[in-house]
Amino acid sequence: MADRLSARGVLAALADDSTFDELPSPARPSRPDGPLGWPGYDASRSRAAERTGEDESVVCGVARVGGTRAVLIAFEFGFLGGSLGERTGDRLEAAYAAARERRLPVVPLVATGGSRMQEGMLALTQLQRVARQSALTRQAGLAQVAVVRDPTTGGGWATLGAGADVVLALPGAQVGFAGSRVRPADADPAAYTAEAQLAAGAVDAVVPPEELRGTLARWLRLLTRPSRVPAPPPGALGDSAGLPATGWDAVRRARSSRRPRAAAYLDAYFTDRVAISGDRCGGTDPDGMLCGFGEHEGRTVAYAAQTGAATRPAGYRTAARLVRLADRLGIPVLTLVDTPGAANDAEAERQGAGPAIAELFGAVAAARTPVTTLVVGEGGSGGALALAAPGNTWATPDSYFSVIAPELAAAILKLPPREVEPTADRLRIRPQDLVELGVIRGTVGP
């Protein structure tokens, strides 16, 4: 069931008791029936105010959520469909400015049908104001966590919702750029839901109402603890057989089905973690890349971890999104390398495998926040290297890192099958070889 709470209702449901302090509303000269002189506009506003008890479609203030202070922006859908007009823009601008002045994250609690028809293009241009305020807040290194309620459509979705760093959605909420009255007659309504946006990589999680307060509190806590100290590499979780004797032994151990994968490393490393999902370009790669933020020894560390599968373009783009966000918020990053390589099927090429890998290489190279990498399994070519931190990469004893898989190297060099294992030795792919070559800093023990 989608959320139908009023603005005050959703604030009461999420804010810690007695902590909400409403921000003053900027004054704007009143004009009869608004800026366009739209007949009956004043009467419509009066009826909306009488029905909701509000004088505009947003309520803005500062509150604590799970102990973390934030600026909350709650939409009142009962006031002209939560639409944006000039006075809405005034309040939104003031709320973002207050967040920057007080160094607080921003939490838009969105429920809107879009821009207000009775104010014409002046209403639509409020989206530019909102986008500008969001950009300034992003540049200030402050997090934005949106909660999209029912409905969230039009420009409100395309700015306050989809433009946030993290997007949480309520189950069954109508979410999409096109509102219900402007879609094609034969449009599938299921495509305009929170669940569809999650599948398309535009939403990070669909959260039941009873879990929203706790989930939002976890996100705010994790995203508001910057640190300049690099994340330490995790300890090895695999067997204690020591370093591999040969290159092929390294390959065999890295490919073992008994070897611990990313989820095991993340569970051991973090006491609490939350995941981001999607590349914001229409794709997800839940089977190939795990990304999010977690708590390690009392501080926040971001993570991007390959799972042992071939990584798809959406996985690389999601990891790049993670690294850029952590960099902007000043949060150190841990990456786990484990892939036979980038997905190389025709669909991966159509989805932009090369540009996606390039995007991740660029995000890691440009990061000012410290990035730490641990190779926990297969390090297959550039599809693995894109996630690795130059100068701060480590490896477990049951891993390898290679310019290409030994079988493929032998094939490219036109060597017979019997030469595959010797080729693994010649490539010098064992963890101890990589240390000697200066590719990694060292190996980690249990």
Express each pLDDT in 269-311 by its tens digit. 999 999 999 999 999 999 999 999 999 999 999 999 999 999 9
Cα 93 from Cα 131, distance rounded (Å): 10
Distant-in-sequence, close-in-space partners of 35: CB < 8 Å, separation ≥ 6: 86, 119, 120, 122
The residue among 225, 205, 210 whose CA lies nearest residue 67 is 225
Q: Is there a contact between 110 and 67 (Cβ–Cβ < 8 Å)?
A: no
Per this entry, what is the length of the chain?
446
Cα 429 from Cα 431, distance rounded (Å): 7
Bridge partners of 281, per DSSP, are none
Residue range 166-225, pLDDT digits in tens: 999 999 999 998 777 777 877 788 888 999 999 999 999 999 999 999 999 999 999 999
Residues of the chain whose pLDDT is less than 50? 1-2
The residue among 292, 304, 169, 161 whose CA lies nearest residue 222 is 292
pTM, full prediction:
0.94
Quickly count: other Cβ atoms within 10 Å of residue 343's Cβ: 23
Q: Is there a contact between 262 and 336 (Cβ–Cβ < 8 Å)?
A: yes
b/e per residue 111-144 (b: at least 16 CB within 10 A) = bbbbbbbbbeebbbbbbebbeebbeebbeeebbb
Cα 145 from Cα 134, distance rounded (Å): 11
Residue range 69-97, pLDDT digits in tens: 999 999 999 999 999 999 999 999 999 99
- Residue 151 vs residues 37, 110, 162, 196, 253: alpha-carbon distances, Å: 28, 8, 14, 14, 51
Q: Label residue 408 exposed, middle or buried (CB < 10 Å: 0-12, 13-18, 19+).
A: middle
Q: Is there a contact between 191 and 21 (Cβ–Cβ < 8 Å)?
A: no
Bridge partners of 206, per DSSP, are 169
Residue 239's pLDDT is 72
Question: Could you tell me the two tokens for 301?
Answer: 């560390």
